[in-house]
Amino acid sequence: NAGVTQTPKFQVLKTGQSMTLQCAQDMNHEYMSWYRQDPGMGLRLIHYSVGAGITDQGEVPNGYNVSRSTTEDFPLRLLSAAPSQTSVYFCASSYSGTGRFGYTFGSGTRLTVV
Amino acid sequence: GQQVMQIPQYQHVQEGEDFTTYCNSSTTLSNIQWYKQRPGGHPVFLIQLVKSGEVKKQKRLTFQFGEAKKNSSLHITATQTTDVGTYFCAGHNAGNNRKLIWGLGTSLAVNP
């Protein structure tokens, strides 16, 4: 099993550009989520999904869109990149929202907006 | 809003010394999870505790969940250089099992 796969691993964007961060899992997990990690800020939840067709906002959703058309995929879209979105982005999935068996994280996407 | 405070923020130890990190929540948690993130890596799930007063061990690591389900600790006995990284606690609010509330982490450095 590959677990949670994120692409790309690194990305540099210009202010105002848009892009999609990809996340795919092969564990048949119902729950998927996106976090951003900034120095001194810990992990902050952007959006999450409890199943295909269902998404909801986390604590820092502004500037990001998500959709969940399949169980496996949960892409994160940056609509108009801003320097404040420079961060490391992690996708995480779990068997259920309660994360009874823990959350499995992808290896991350390191995004720089200039 | 609900917060999980984690202390200390940083800890520097000599190899062989013990290490403890503490988490305190402002509200009751339904569970507490612990993760380890190596430098440049991603968080990796270590364990989940769900019962009041629960204690679990993984080799040199001991995890505790407080009686009131508001605090937790991770203790590492006789640290090794392989223990280097940031340790995060995270828990679910007793009324919301869809969002993990994360501590800011404790960064552990180990001198060989």
pLDDT in tens, A54-66: 999 999 999 999 9
Residue A101 pLDDT more than 80? no
Give the mean pLDDT of A97-106.
80
Which of A32, A38, A43 is the mutation pick for testing B, counting most B CBs within 10 A? A43
- B86: closest chain A residue by CA: A42
CB A98 to CB B30 under 8 A? yes
Q: Are strands A10-13 and A109-113 parallel, antiparallel or unpaired?
A: parallel
Q: What is the pLDDT of residue B99?
A: 85
Closest approach of A45 to chain B, Cα-based (Å): 8
Give the count of beta carbons closer than 10 Å to the beta carbon of residue B49: 22
Closest approach of A110 to chain B, Cα-based (Å): 10
A103 three-class SS: coil
Q: Taking the alpha carbons of B10, A109, A91, B58 in that order, is the dihedral positive or negative?
A: negative
Give the count of beta carbons closer than 10 Å to the beta carbon of residue A66: 23
CB A90 to CB B43 under 8 A? yes
Closest approach of B103 to chain A, Cα-based (Å): 7
Which of B23, B35, B42 is the mutation pick for testing A, counting most A CBs within 10 A? B42
Residue A23 contacts residue A108 (beta carbons within 8 Å): no
pLDDT band at A110 (very low <50, low <70, confident <90, very high): very high
Q: Give the separation between CA A106 and CA A89, rounded to whole angstroms.
A: 9
CB B42 to CB A108 under 8 A? yes
Phi/psi at B50 (nearest 5 deg)? -130, -20
Helix, strand, coil % over all residues of chain A, rounded to 5: 5, 50, 45
Q: What is the pLDDT of residues B35-87, one digit of tens each?
A: 999 999 999 999 999 999 999 999 999 999 999 999 999 999 999 999 999 99
